[in-house]
Amino acid sequence: MQVSFELLEGFTIEKEPGIPNEDRFLVSGSLRAIAVCDGASQSYDSATWAELLCRAFIEDQCVDRAWLARAVADYNARYSVTDLPWMKQAAFERGSFSTLLGIEALSDSTLRGTAFGDSLVVVSDGDRFVESFPYQEPEDFDTDPRLISTAPVFNAHFTDEFVRTHVHYFDLSRCEAPLIFLMTDALGRWVLERKDDPATLQMLQSLDQSSFARLIHEERSSRRMRRDDSTLLLVGIR
């Protein structure tokens, strides 16, 4: 049976008022692919790079070095480096960085996830946690993630074998009410710390934009969640 996605909710909030949000997400017109990217704040115009990576995945889910080269070329074509002030030229040459988390609906109730960096997908059966990818435990977030860069020197590790180790298949056939949660890292760690409590995923299913913002602000203020751009997508299967 061929499946497709239903975007039930999509929320995002910036790390600080007045500071641009560098998270991006995109859903394909066919409803068979979704991408979430988290641009790294320390890099040059990472929001644009995150947006381009989302678009690249929606257009083609076969991620490899040629796919990445096309995305980098698209990014570079948007700038005239010689017209930038010298300080911005140096920042541009150091590169932009972003995570990429993409899911694709396949046949027979199977999803394929592709993840580079620390954005997280969680699969639940109703409010019961089933599995997560690419991380399974909150401590996994303590390791610096391998991000995708616009600078080729930082993509030397991006081999076919590296890509294969960052792909995971989800079998939904045993789930009576499968739900998919896509989220960026601060929220992802918070969820994994509470994954054994069904109330966590139950609560996330009940949010609207105002209650999502309230949750993030409260958890940041109590230091139970790291202050960062935070994005949550709730996705159903049909």
Domain ranges (residues) in the chain: 5-237
Q: Whole-angstrom Cα distance, residue 168 to residue 52?
A: 23
- Name the residue among 69, 73, 33 with its Cα closest to residue 54: 33
Q: Confidence class of residue 45 from pLDDT cuts 50, 70 and 90?
A: confident
- Mean pLDDT computed over 182-186: 98
Q: Whole-angstrom Cα distance, residue 190 to residue 21?
A: 19
Q: Whole-angstrom Cα distance, residue 33 to residue 111?
A: 10
Q: Whole-angstrom Cα distance, residue 102 to residue 113?
A: 6
- Name the residue among 47, 65, 73 with its Cα closest to residue 184: 47
pLDDT in tens, 157-176: 999 999 999 999 999 989 99
pLDDT in tens, 69-109: 999 999 988 876 666 665 665 666 678 999 999 999 997 68
Q: Confidence class of residue 238 from pLDDT cuts 50, 70 and 90?
A: confident
DSSP 110-166: EEEEEEESS-EEEEEETTEEEEEES-SSGGGGGSPP--EESSGGGGTT--HHHHHTT
pLDDT at residue 41 tops 90: no
On average, the pLDDT of the chain sits at 92
Q: Tell me what pLDDT residue 80 has.
A: 64
Backbone φ, ψ for residue 30 (5° rounding):
-80, -10
pLDDT in tens, 104-158: 999 768 999 999 999 999 999 999 999 999 999 999 999 999 999 999 889 999 9
Q: Whole-angstrom Cα distance, residue 128 to residue 111?
A: 18
Q: Tell me what pLDDT residue 36 has.
A: 98
Q: Whole-angstrom Cα distance, residue 167 to residue 39?
A: 20
Q: Whole-angstrom Cα distance, residue 10 to residue 231?
A: 8
Q: Whole-angstrom Cα distance, residue 139 to residue 141?
A: 5
Q: Tell me what pLDDT residue 83 has.
A: 62
Q: Whole-angstrom Cα distance, residue 124 to residue 129?
A: 5
- The pTM of this model reads 0.94
- Mean pLDDT computed over 222-235: 97
Per-residue b/e over 193-226, b at no fewer than 16 CB within 10 Å?
bbbeeeebbeebeebeeeebeebbeebbeeeebe
Count of residues making up the chain: 238
Q: Tell me what pLDDT residue 3 has.
A: 73
Which whole-number Å values give the CA distances from 15 to 118, 126, 161, 175, 216, in the listed order? 17, 29, 34, 34, 10
Q: Tell me what pLDDT residue 92 has.
A: 62
Q: Tell me what pLDDT residue 4 has.
A: 86
What would be the CATH architecture of the domain defined by 5-237? 4-Layer Sandwich (3.60)
Q: Tell me what pLDDT residue 85 has.
A: 61
